[in-house]
Structure 1
């Protein structure tokens, strides 16, 4: 994907198979609607993939990593060096996301979107760094317009490569100290919502730390009146958030469902939907995060999450836990007997 205009041209979801999919679901060996939201999920998957028998046999988690200049102003409880340490942990297969991925049979790809360190030479790392972290959004734009476009297109390329390798379900994850602050600012402008309703603990804060985070984000919000999606991204965004949005848009264009993780991932989805409204129908929202603001953001997107587990880790962990639900929804259409056959056998 070399052109942002092409990336933002997401097709309207083709619903021509809706009647046939509903008939197929109602014809299975169960009372119509007895499997509730699993049936709704199966219908959505069939529409996204344009198939009467959808598949999620090849799930791939894309974990985008990036640092944020906002951390220099004290919005995070941990230093940005933790981003590097967690990238190494992910590459070593020892992070929570790796453990969950092994259980649900998902491949994990880790992408350097904008980590503030030289990560060259690390085996298995996808190199896509735009810059070594964003600028401090409390005093200047986080990135240039050119950098924002580069990040969106880089995320699209990563998704396109995974899909070319056989992925038929994309899960989005992230790693980046300070990214809950960036996501809160994006939500504030793109939802829109009062800033106070968007700011949460992130990776953890003392009361003093939360007061500092709120003050810095208020300063950042006062610095710019941007409301247009691409301008909001340049003012307040992160490279990993931009790349998640780009990956989502590319998957939507390819007719591949996307599992959106928690607060940060949903901010990326909100950005993608504001850039290309048709992208909303290709999103599956995995879980309701415990992070403040997430439920409001889900309401804005008219999204019902599949799970509610009070999680707020990130990394794509919530998205991974929803993978089996997606797979059983596919199995409902591919493996469950027809009611007519059961009745015939019963005489």
Structure 2
């Protein structure tokens, strides 16, 4: 099948019964979907959310306001249906899967939990690599396989892991070259003194390795198992012809790694929202991405992606189902 040209897509959008450009970002979103699906009749009917959970060795260094035990507690909350992601998924008709990518402690036994544990948390990236090359390969492969399952048109990815803003900051620093001081944020709500301590710890961790790293090496040195598995899932989703709803700061770090691993993955990405985390703007800029929403959200879990899903559905339906001036017998612009 011949590839649709941008001119053909834009002509189809302009022919709809509306003034030129009257639907704003919905029009450019529809064009992105049409380009990825290579059709002027795109479909966005089914979406799934996968939440990846894992722990981080650097959490023990005081970079988070919350104890590491919260990761496990929130996994149980997801499984019980009590988190914001559960509520938003239910209201949007999105299926939800929860994956243990490497939560600290003994394995969690639950009938609805998908266990893809690489290890009970990473090593501390302050003193050495967070994971081994073999562990990275296993995480990428597990995420890819999960994203290839099912028949969803799009997939959203969420995460849970105390200290994962630290991991995302370090990955972003090594992939963009932007300074740690510009990328580091308050995470779960650090005060000024704790933010200064976090920034100093991350600067020390970053000093262990060269300024610029490949995506593989950045994930090995500083990643979390949930971030690596999410990057693999993004590669798998794009390869399976599914669009990717990229959530907030941590998910965007995974998206940047995935796009560096396979640049073709970038075409599948829709960026849901912008977080108040300062590093998020830097990562979005590195991906040349314009997020759909700005709601002041910094929760993670895929919540921003879930709120963007109705816009994605509407954009595809507009291009597919909205009448043209010719079809409707409506006079076009003079």
| TM-score when normalising by structure 1 | 0.92
Q: Is the 8 A contact 1:137 1:236 kept in 2?
A: yes
Partner of 2:250: 264
| Aligned position for 2:202 | 217
- Say yes or no: does 1:285 pair with 2:271: yes
Partner of 2:169: 184
- 1:11 is matched with none
2:156 to 171, 174, 177: 171
Give 2:145's aligned residue: 157
* Structure 1 unmatched runs, 5+: 1-13
The residue that corresponds to 1:131 in the other structure is 119
What value does the CA root-mean-square deviation take over the aligned residues?
1.6
After superposing the two structures, state which structure 1 stretch, 43-52 or 235-244, moved more. Answer: 43-52
Output one character per residue of 1:152-183: Cα deviation in whole Å (capped at 9) or x when no partner: 1111011011xxx2111111110100000000
Deviation (angstroms), 1:208: 2.4
Q: In structure 2, what is the Cα distance between the partners aligned to 1:302 and 1:17?
A: 21
Alignment of 1:236-251 (within 5 A): 236-251=222-237
CA offset at residue 263 of structure 1? Answer: 0.4
Q: Is 1:322 paired with 2:308? A: yes
Q: What SS is found at the alignment partner of 1:110?
A: strand
Residues 58-105 of structure 1 show CA distances to partners (whole Å, capped at 9, x for unaligned) of 110111001000011111111111001100111111100111111111
Could you tell me how far apart the structure 2 residues matched to 1:344 and 1:137 are? 63
Q: Does residue 85 of the first structure (1) align with residue 73 of the second (2)?
A: yes
Q: How does 1:67-146 map to 2 (within 5 A)?
A: 67-146=55-134
| Alignment: residue pair count | 330
Pick one of 170, 184, 188 that aligns with 1:199. 184
**Cα 1:132–1:18 shift into 2, 3 Å:** same
CA gap 1:344/1:319 in 2 versus in 1, 3 angstroms:
closer
CA distance in 2, matches of 1:246, 1:135: 20
Whole-angstrom CA distance in 2 between matches of 1:85 and 1:30: 50
Q: List alignment gaps of at least 5 residues for structure 2.
A: none
* TM-score, reference length from structure 2: 0.95
Match runs of 1:306-321 below 5 Å: 306-321=292-307
Aligned with 1:64 (options 52, 59, 70):
52
